[in-house]
Amino acid sequence: MARTAAAHNLRYRRILLKLSGEALAGDQGYGIDLDVLAPIARDVVAAVASGAEICLVVGAGNIYRGLKAVEVGMDRARADYMGMLGTVMNALALQTAIEREGQTARVLSAIPMPTVCEAYIRDKALDHLEKGRVVIFAGGTGNPYFTTDTAAALRAAEMGCEALFKATQVDGVYSADPETTPNARRYDRLSYDDVLKQDLRIMDGAAIALARDNRIPIIVFSIKSQGGLALVLQGKGSSTTIDGGT
């Protein structure tokens, strides 16, 4: 009951949070930095406590990058499958960190591996969400040639999410890299078509198109500030909204 009451203060009640694998590596650049993982888990748990239903998709760039392997001659499909396995490792790490904060979480993989986690079944995932559990989707879409950005947009549509939250290292979308271009313009709002036409590369084109076709707004915000996710859910803090425009 308290959780339902708290949800009235939220702009979006059910969201999908997309994390890059690199976000888990921190300054070490590779692997999983526990000092980075713990604050992310606390942010997710705080968002659930505020009344939100949260599902996640995480990349694997901190462990393996399939496209780089392709550049040196590896078969693209095989390289992508290796990347999908990397997302399972990251998902299990996130599950552990979230559960250490007192919140139940489940990992569902598009590539079945029953001794490690649950296989992705839409109805099962929806049931977990309705029971207040954090759902972490691993294994991408289960198919090569698709990025985890596209997997995030796909799962957001399947779960009936009201928004797709894209966690980055900066507080929104800029016209250029704000670290190298001090006068870069930050956008409060963009249309899907703006993102595609300007090639802003927030997510890949297939993910943007999938979100557009299913009318799922994309909220770009910074994962670096503690409590940022809960604030943006309440319509506070700094972020960029990507939607159909006016």
- For residue range 72-90, what is the model confidence (pLDDT) as tens digits? 788 999 999 999 999 999 9
> Residue 3 above 60 pLDDT?
no
pLDDT of residue 175: 87
> Residue 112 above 50 pLDDT?
yes
Residue type, 118: E
pLDDT of residue 24: 92
- Mean per-residue pLDDT of the chain: 92
Which two three-digit tokens encode residue 168?
């980055």
pLDDT of residue 21: 92
28: which residues sit within 8 A by CB, 6+ positions away? Answer: none
When pLDDT is averaged across residues 217-240 and rounded to a whole number, the result is 90
pLDDT of residue 8: 66
If you average pLDDT over each of 139-153, 163-177, 179-193, which comes out highest? 139-153
Residue type, 220: V
Q: Which residue, among 126, 143, 35, has the nearest Cα to 80 in the 3D structure?
A: 143
When pLDDT is averaged across residues 141-162 and rounded to a whole number, the result is 97
pLDDT of residue 6: 57
When pLDDT is averaged across residues 122-132 and rounded to a whole number, the result is 97
Q: What is the pLDDT of residues 26-51, one digit of tens each?
A: 888 889 999 999 999 999 999 999 99
pLDDT of residue 169: 87
* DSSP three-state, residue 239: strand
> Residue 185 above 60 pLDDT?
yes
40 with 134: CB under 8 angstroms? no
Residue type, 125: A
Q: What is the pLDDT of residues 60-72, one digit of tens each?
A: 999 887 667 777 7
**Domain residues of the chain, as ranges?**
2-243
When pLDDT is averaged across residues 186-207 and rounded to a whole number, the result is 92
Neighbours of 233 (CB within 10 A): 27
Q: Which residue, among 4, 5, 44, has the nearest Cα to 135 in the 3D structure?
A: 44
> Residue 153 above 70 pLDDT?
yes
pLDDT of residue 2: 47
How confident is residue 1, by pLDDT bands cut at 50, 70 and 90?
Answer: very low
Neighbours of 134 (CB within 10 A): 26
Tell which CATH architecture fits domain 2-243. 3-Layer(aba) Sandwich (3.40)
How confident is residue 246, by pLDDT bands cut at 50, 70 and 90?
Answer: low
